[in-house]
């Protein structure tokens, strides 16, 4: 027996073409979204890997900085220190924490607080250890000494109950 063929009309072909076109557009959109997600994931993994490597190298940088502070700087030591700083900088390492900076508890770790009755805010007076970040990632807060009003005053400014 011969199969019966349905009459093909322009309308049914148009409908089939529209369905296949819509399917193709959906698949293309899904693929584009997938590609963008993979690109974002790769960038995130790269940023995390760079941050981990930089965090692991901070003790080396600290040791070189301490050596430069306490030992006579020889041409070889200067070259090592400069090269290390240049290479870490090329990976996006940024140091922060300078004397005179306003104290920010999200960036600074206050090791000591000196009361200064004439100060109206906490200010970094001595940087014991610089802080480092790469992009938006905080690798290490700066360890600082701060001077400012008595603790009860800045606790109240921060909205903390002093228990008095």
Mark 52-72 as b/e (b = at least 16 C-beta within 10 Å). Answer: eebeebbeebeebbeeeeeee
Confidence of residue 1 (pLDDT cuts 50, 70, 90): very low
Tell me the pLDDT tens digit for each residue of 99-138. Answer: 999 999 999 999 998 888 777 889 999 999 999 999 889 9
Q: What is the pTM of this model?
A: 0.70
Tell me the pLDDT tens digit for each residue of 6-57. Answer: 555 678 888 888 999 999 999 999 999 999 999 999 999 999 999 999 999 9
∠ at Cα 37 (36, 40), nearest 5°? 90
Spell out the SS3 assignment of the chain.
Answer: CCCCCCCCCHHHHHHHHHHHHHHHHHHHHHHHHHHHHHHHHHHHHHHHHHHHHHHHHHHHHHHHHHHHHHCCCCHHHHHHHHHHHHHHHHCCEEEECCCCCECCCCCEEEEEEEECCCCCCCEEEEEEECEEEECCEEEECEEEEEEECCHHHHHHHCCCCCCC
User: What is the spatial distance between Cα 96 and Cα 132, in angstroms, rounded to a whole number?
Assistant: 6
CB < 8 Å & 24+ apart, contacts of 24-31: none
């Amino acid at each position: 027996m011969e199969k019966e063929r349905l009459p093909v009309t322009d309308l049914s072909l148009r409908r089939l073409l529209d369905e296949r076109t819509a399917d193709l557009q959906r698949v293309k959109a899904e693929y584009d979204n997938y590609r963008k997600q993979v690109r974002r994931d790769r960038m995130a993994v790269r940023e995390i890997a760079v941050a981990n490597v930089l965090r692991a190298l901070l003790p080396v940088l600290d040791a070189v900085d301490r050596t430069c502070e306490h030992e006579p700087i020889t041409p070889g030591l200067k070259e090592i220190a400069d090269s290390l700083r240049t290479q870490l900088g090329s990976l996006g390492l940024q140091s922060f924490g300078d004397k005179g900076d306003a104290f920010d508890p999200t960036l600074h770790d206050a090791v000591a607080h000196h009361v200064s009755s004439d100060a109206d805010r906490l200010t970094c007076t001595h940087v014991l250890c610089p802080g480092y970040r790469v992009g938006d990632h905080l690798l290490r807060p700066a360890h600082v000494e701060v001077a400012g009003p008595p603790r009860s005053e800045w606790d109240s400014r921060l909205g903390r109950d002093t228990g008095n």
